[in-house]
Structure 1
């Protein structure tokens, strides 16, 4: 996913200025890292340079004048193509969780890895409970519900992996003991 494509998707609903785009991004993707204002304006500049968005007008509010952007026909074609194209699964699965287990095994052995896995599993389960509460509160907000479902699925996969890893670590302890 690129920031530019998300911004073009938001602009497909109509012209907006950077502040609104940032706010709408954060509402649309509540489980994602909030977008920084500098990131919004840098991406808009790149998109404008490629002819995918254009400056529509300026708005004068109580604060500084705000530049309003709109999606061009080329931008519409680009975001439509991007949104419909499948992404291949990543070739490399880099995850801090697996990395920390590997390092814990190196520096502290099976006991250190098992301790880390139990602590991380508890943290994952707490986050899953929080997301489940958020999902219930979201009710009719499809974007929030889908974001929570996505995060819950990933966390659930991590928990299952941690449980398998704990079993393997215990087997390793038995072999070494």
Structure 2
């Protein structure tokens, strides 16, 4: 899955009302930061790019105890870009983890290593992550539950792939070791 578009999410968070960068970061982390919280520097760098590109404007500055707090608002062009992003379906993609796992299986087989062992370890790691997600789903709010469900369904698909791969390792090893690329 491609990384989440922080810039588009910030546009979406700004659409209802102008906000400070600090507030945007808090909202982002509350909704999307469970696995990867946003760093303040990334928020402000993204806001600078959005401003440069005409998608947001500086809506005001308030003095505080520390540095001045800048308030940002989405522009008409920002709304158009947000609508384009929301209307565009995501391209189904195999995550980097799955691509790496597939590569590890082929490399293990081509070097005579036991691919079933690495798949068993991966299965254990997936089950451990499933347990974490179940706890999160049971203890979290509705947003956490929905996010945990999304990950759990994908982990389940990975586990089905692992089981299918284990069942074909002997045939796959023969193909890989023969140097054939036709998948016969």
Gap runs ≥5 in structure 2? 178-184
Q: Is the aligned partner of 1:165 residue 2:169?
A: no
Q: Is the aligned partner of 1:101 residue 2:141?
A: no
**Out of 14, 17, 21, which is 2:20 matched to?**
17
8 Å contact from structure 1 (residues 132, 148) kept in 2: yes
Separation (CA, whole Å) in 2 of partners of 1:102 and 1:125: 23
Question: Residue 116 of structure 1 aligns with which residue?
Answer: 118
Alignment of structure 1 residues 29-48 onto 2, 5 Å: 29-48=32-51
* Cα offset, 1:133, TM superposition: 0.9
Separation (CA, whole Å) in 2 of partners of 1:8 and 1:51: 12
Separation (CA, whole Å) in 2 of partners of 1:142 and 1:14: 23
Separation (CA, whole Å) in 1 of partners of 2:20 and 2:11: 12
Q: How many pairs are equivalent?
A: 171
Distance 1:152 1:31, change over 3 A: farther
Alignment of structure 1 residues 77-92 onto 2, 5 Å: 77-90=80-93
> Secondary structure of the equivalent of 1:129?
helix
Residues 44-89 of structure 1 deviation map (CA, whole Å, 9 limit, x = unaligned): 1111112111111223333322212111222122212311221233
Separation (CA, whole Å) in 2 of partners of 1:31 and 1:163: 29
Q: Is the aligned partner of 1:137 residue 2:139?
A: yes
Distance 1:63 1:114, change over 3 A: same
* Cα offset, 1:32, TM superposition: 4.6
Residues 83-112 of structure 1 deviation map (CA, whole Å, 9 limit, x = unaligned): 12212334x765222122222223343x2x
